[in-house]
Amino acid sequence: HEVAGQRSPAPSSSSSSLPVPHCHRPVAMRSAVLLPRPTRRWVVLCAACLLAAFLCYTFLGSCRSGNFRSFTYVAPERFVWGRNMEKLHYDRHMPLIFIGGMPRSGTVWGRNMEKLHYDRHMPLIFIGGMPRSGTTLIRVLLDAHPDVRCGEETRIIPRLLSLKQQWSKSPTEVQRLIEGGITDDVMDAAMTAFILEVIVRHGKPAPRLCNKDPFTLRAAVYLHKLFPQAKFLLMIRDGRAVVHSIITRKVTITGYDLSDYRQCLKRWNAAMYSMYNQCQQLGPSICMPVYYEQLVLHPKPWLQRILAFLDVPWNDSVLHHEQIINQSGISLSKLERSTDQVIKPINLEALSKWVGQIPEDVVRDMAKVAPMLSELGYDPMANPPNYGRPDSFVLNNTLQIKRETAEWRARELELAQHRDAIRRGAIRRKVEEDAFTRTPTP
């Protein structure tokens, strides 16, 4: 340094090897190590802006998809080999024309913010059977398990499977699809992606995902082809009880005449023949028949068998689903007619309501009208039938419900009124929309 015009003496050789204190380092050395303060501020500000933009994009993307309960991510881009063996990449952002699709795998964030990967090889659970056969009960019991999520009926999956079966049965339509390049491989890939996305995204993430749409098991063999690790539960119930419940609760099913017990029993017989045969084709390691009456009479041993079949560990919560419903742990549809029943503990109320309600001529011809009753192990001539003796656990639940009849009846009435209000509102909106579309524009 220069002080008063004099140059400071040069350091001696003995002191030249000592480190120079930071405060005495030359300005050039400090500027080489650190950026100027304004530049550092801009770098930090830019990094913060990029982070904020990423978080906003992630959150808004999940909101636009309708999934407000957890962040979701779609699968990364994929590729196929072109005609000249070149890689052709495709993802959800490619400019598709009219026909689009989602990848057949992906990742969602679980309840504890862990990544849950999903693809066609995951061990899905499919619950099926005739409506009013206990499909809602078994899905609610499984929903009570912390590792399983079934959720409400999607309604769209069985319709899509039915449409696929209609195409397959028409040689002309099959040829048209082939001419359009829609081969079986293309169709199966599209069906797999669609069904998987619906199951994964219509409810909360969970280690084991489950679908309950009663008529899906009419295509159980095809579903197993699409999802080779899936397992199936076929709910079986006395056909007389099923038909009585369908008619008295006015459950609308295509092709069923709700004023004719004989016709409904024949339709039940045909549907169960198809589903039961497909379950038998898959074998006992893939498809398990579950008898509604035995599940109600002996819930714990049957639930133990079901969970063991599904490779799901036992949890006592499956015996007390009504407690979790009250805590909003199980999602119920306000429009499903079984909702007002499954809010109760497992009980015996619905087992034999059909006795004495079926016309005498139908009862007399029951063995011919519904031969699947005998095939499934029921006595078609037993009125009332003997399903077995209930466990004490179920007896206590039933007695408790009888003591609280007024309270349960009020809850059932409230749900029924809410359901009717929703339906009337939907009909009113439809009428208004139709009237608006018919109104001529000036």
State pLDDT tens for residues 73-126. Answer: 344 445 566 666 676 766 667 775 544 444 456 666 555 555 667 889 999 999
pLDDT at residue 393, rounded to an integer: 94
Q: How many CB atoms lie within 10 A of CB 101?
A: 14
| The pLDDT of residue 7 is above 50 | no
pLDDT at residue 72, rounded to an integer: 38
| The pLDDT of residue 247 is above 50 | yes
| The pLDDT of residue 71 is above 50 | no
Give the residue among 227, 200, 199 at the shortest CA–CA distance from 109: 200
Residues 178, 51: Cα–Cα separation, whole Å: 48
Q: Which residues, including other chains, have CB under 8 Å from residue 295's CB and lie 6 or more apart?
A: 134, 137, 138, 302, 303
Residue whose tokens read 């809010």: 343
Task: For the chain, give the mean pLDDT.
Answer: 81
Domain residue ranges of the chain, discontinuous segments joined by +: 29-64, 74-390
Torsion of CA 361, 364, 290, 119, to 10 degrees: -50
| The pLDDT of residue 377 is above 90 | yes
pLDDT at residue 311, rounded to an integer: 97
Do the Cβ atoms of 62 and 70 come closer than 8 Å?
A: yes
Handedness of CA 125, 128, 131, 133 (dihedral sign): negative
Domain 74-390, CATH: 3.40.50.300
Q: What is the mean pLDDT of residues 238-245?
A: 96
Do the Cβ atoms of 260 and 154 come closer than 8 Å?
A: no
Q: Cα–Cα distances in Å, from 373 out to 242, 246, 358? A: 12, 17, 15
Question: What are residue 149's DSSP bridge partners?
Answer: 209
* Highest-confidence segment of 36-45, 104-113, 399-408: 399-408
| The pLDDT of residue 280 is above 90 | yes
pLDDT at residue 266, rounded to an integer: 97
Q: What is the mean pLDDT of residues 119-136?
A: 95
Please classify residue 191 by burial: count the beta carbons closer than 10 Å to its beta carbon, then call 0-12 exposed, 13-18 middle and 19+ buried.
Answer: buried
pLDDT at residue 425, rounded to an integer: 76
User: Which residues form the catalytic set?
Assistant: 153
Do the Cβ atoms of 206 and 110 come closer than 8 Å?
A: yes
Residues 195, 160: Cα–Cα separation, whole Å: 9
Q: What is the mean pLDDT of residues 386-414?
A: 87
